[in-house]
Amino acid sequence: MRVVVKVGSGSLVEKDGTLKSGLIYSLAQQIKDLRKFHEVVLVSSGAIAAGLSALKKSRREVSDIKTLTAISSVGQVKLIQAWQSSFNSFGYELGQILLSPSDFIQRSQYLHARETLEELLKLGIVPVINENDAVCDDEIRFGDNDRLAALVASLLRADLLLLLTDTEGLYLKDPRFSDEKVLVKEVLEIDSLTAEATSKSSSDFGSGGMASKLAAAKIASWSGTDVVIAKADAKEVIVKAVKNFSSVGTYIKARKTHLSARLLWIAFASESKGVIYIDQGAKNALSKGNSSLLLAGVINTEGSFEKGDIAEIRHEKELLAKGILKLSSGELLKYKGKSKKDLPEDIDPEVVHRDDMVVFN
């Protein structure tokens, strides 16, 4: 079995910003035990927290992205040293991999990243992954390591994505604001989930929260990977989750229909720059699963976007699809509803090509 384990900052960091060496050691020991029979890849948050601690700064006094990026580069060294110290005590070496969104968008980089990770696993080295904060463009980022972990799970065709956090799992309502602390043990269909677990991280150092976990779970589920959300400091949590997916936390079952990493990025990991509203005929064509979106079916647009941006495609309020645009918002507004024969020669009647679009139903 191939497992991707993601550990959040809220679990790894003390209130004063220092890393929890005891928990890191415990998790490393569990991964060591699993590696006798399974392949394990680790995605670790905590770089910003470790950097702030090293520089004796508070998270509340630093907000601009440039400073946080610089601080994370300092913390990345501290974070990998903490993991390395624990794994070395068990005789394992680490291989650090820093990924950026382009590694999943551009096929050559995507294949190179997968080949590198596969080779590390063959060599018996534990891959430790984080976002390449120091070089990522402010506008093109994963945003949190939950999303990164889900994409890594897809990249490696993992059997299980284990998201370790500071709560027991997914609750029907945010336990911080409700007395109804009902833990969801199993989710058979992630797309039908209507839980109110949309809280931000309770930690000063986390960037996610349960909403982030659910978004990551959707990515993983659509790529064919099962997901478990569980508490990082629960006893033998990694070992138990791998032995029985539903034994700890919340188990989210993989979908039968799978998407490629590129389409996963379009569907779930990219920011929509606007909305395109289409008529019933266009909706019917998209629902068949093999049609591109044409100008003739566009009713209206919302937002300002350029060619190459990603937009939502809706029929009334219903979200039908997401895709990469071949026309700008200005061109769409000017030529919406027109068929090919009514368009200038330099205007493509195709708004989104079928290969650049994910239809959700």
**Residue 51: which pLDDT band, with cuts at 50, 70 and 90?**
confident
Are the CB atoms for 199 and 176 separated by under 8 Å?
yes
- Name the more confident of 102 and 334: 334
Closest by alpha carbon to 275, among 324, 314, 330, 331?
314
Mean confidence (pLDDT) of the chain: 86
pLDDT of 194 higher than 70: no
What is the per-residue pLDDT across 8-19, written as a single tens digit (0 to 9) for each? 888 998 887 789
Q: What distance in Å separates the CA atoms of residue 272 and residue 261, rounded to the nearest whole number?
A: 17
Residue 136 has pLDDT above 70, yes or no: no
Confidence at residue 178, expressed as pLDDT on a 0 to 100 scale: 63
| pLDDT over 70 (residue 204) | no
310-315: strand order across its sheet: 298-302, 275-278, 310-315, 318-324, 357-359
- 257-293 pLDDT, tens digit per residue, is 778 878 887 887 677 899 999 999 999 999 887 899 9
Structural domains in the chain? Answer: 2-263 (3.40.1160.10), 272-359 (2.30.130.10)
| 188 confidence band (pLDDT: 50, 70, 90) | confident
* Nearest to 138, CA basis, from 63, 66, 76: 66
- Mean pLDDT across 44-61: 84
Reported for 182-185, long-range contacts at CB under 8 A and 24+ positions apart, including other chains, are 183/249, 183/250, 184/250, 185/246, 185/250, 185/251
Specify the higher pLDDT residue, 24 or 62. Answer: 24
pLDDT recorded at residue 202: 46
pLDDT confidence of 193, banded at 50, 70, 90? low
Compute the average pLDDT of residues 307-313: 94
pLDDT number for residue 203: 46
Position 127 scores a pLDDT of: 96
pLDDT category at 140 given cuts 50, 70, 90 is: very low
Say yes or no to pLDDT of 192 above 80. no
Let me know: does 169 contact 231? Beta carbons within 8 Å.
yes
Structure tokens at 297: 């079916």
Q: Is the pLDDT of residue 196 over 50?
A: no
Tens-place pLDDT, residues 327-357: 999 999 999 999 999 999 889 999 999 999 9
